[in-house]
Amino acid sequence: MFDFDSLREILSTISKNKLRTFLTGLAVSWGIFMLIILLGAGNGLRNGVTSNFSQRAKNSVTLWPGWTSMPYNGLPSNRNIKFDYKDYDLIRNKIPEVEYVSVRVDQSATLTYEKEYGAWSLVGVTDEAAYINNIEVKSGDGRFLNKIDVKNKRKVIVISSDIKKVLFKDEDPIGKYITANNTTAYQVIGVYDDSNSFGNSPPAYIPFTTAQMLYNKGWGFRRIDFTVLGLDTKEKNEKFIERLRNQMGKLHNFDPSDRSALYVRNTAEDMLEAESIFAIITMFIIVIGVSSLLAGIVGVGNIMLITVKERTREIGIRKAIGATPFSVLKLIIFESILITSVAGYLGMVLGIAITEGISKAMEGAASDGPTVFKDPTVDLGTVVIATIALVIAGTIAGLIPALKATRVSPIEAMRAE
């Protein structure tokens, strides 16, 4: 068993070689510190890029109409493509992978409630936009648009928490009426959480049928958003987009290879590409971090070998007066464990402190726009496991010198200089 006398003896040995022990401990601390910093940087990059997708479902696709850049079937180039109900019907009913669909009709407006007013965008959407764009109306804050609102072209509106703050202050807006451009009154039916929105002016949502009736007669839809199911590989996504372009090209009579006629953003494919990049980055980080740890472990092994060499005479005397091989083994291994445990713990604490500090600083300096770095922290469980693994490796590193010490012959040891 390990006792206080053994600890005192180990500390005495360490105190006689302060610089060497410090440098060895520094190598171990640096290894675990760098592993935490690198993992934190990797997580920060992953969280930052992932947060840029937070406004949309990860399996969403967006289509924008464009202008043809090549002639097709006797038609000239430079034709304007417009989306209308035929496009909505095609995507809604003719493409089996589609789950939710919404169109988008935009209109700038000055919204007024009593004496308060401000400029925001009115966005006409379907009831399924909430699923596609991750629009969350929390309990107690009303509801989002429903199918009846869309079908009956109701003059109802879902505002952001920012709009609520400006127009209503602390007043409950549900059921109240706000006026758009001093002409149309909308009843507020819900307030959505805009904390994940980019920009300073998250929009207000109204039924797209209402938006078309009032603001967008004959102009069609600005874009179409929808989510898809089952596209879990890059190959499936590429085939789906190719088939989609063929169907849209047939509907609007343009060449499916004409990228200017139809712009496509496939979030699912973007996420797959990002994940593959993150996998490579994570592997690189782990290799670098483990290499740093191994450097520290090698240092521990070396110092223990030197310790055994320097204490050969002492070990011989111990064995001559009755010390068992196990007691010698225990002393060397515990010294190795003490160095790696203390140094590893200090490196772990410093690494966590640095990553948490960076995270807090970034929260305070957070902008409203897209970011590529966010919350560079490391899961505590991962850190603890890495530290425990370091201690185990330190134990193994001390095992070889310890076994060498047990094989020391008392007679030869006492002759050692």
Confidence (pLDDT) at 109 = 92
Confidence (pLDDT) at 137 = 93
The CA–CA distances, whole Å, from 270 to 36, 217, 265, 297 equal 28, 34, 8, 40
Which residues, including other chains, have CB under 8 Å from residue 164's CB and lie 6 or more apart? 173, 191
State if pTM tops 0.85. Answer: no
In this structure, are strands 177-180 and 184-192 parallel, antiparallel, or unpaired?
A: antiparallel
What pLDDT digit, counting tens, does each position of 297-318 carry? 777 777 777 777 776 777 777 7
Q: What is the spatial distance between Cα 100 and Cα 60, in angstroms, rounded to a whole number? A: 9
Q: What is the spatial distance between Cα 36 and Cα 42, in angstroms, rounded to a whole number? A: 10
Would you kindly state where each structural domain of the chain is located, as residue ranges?
Answer: 4-53+272-415, 60-267
Confidence (pLDDT) at 46 = 76
Residue that has been written with the tokens 């308060």 in this structure: 116
What pLDDT digit, counting tens, does each position of 185-238 carry? 999 999 999 876 665 688 999 999 999 999 876 678 999 999 999 888 888 999
How many other β-carbons are positioned within 10 Å of the β-carbon of residue 327?
13
Please give the average per-residue pLDDT across 11-31, as a whole number: 78
Q: What is the spatial distance between Cα 243 and Cα 238, in angstroms, rounded to a whole number? A: 9
Q: What is the spatial distance between Cα 400 and Cα 145, in angstroms, rounded to a whole number? A: 70
What pLDDT digit, counting tens, does each position of 157-196 carry? 999 999 999 999 889 999 999 999 999 999 999 999 987 6
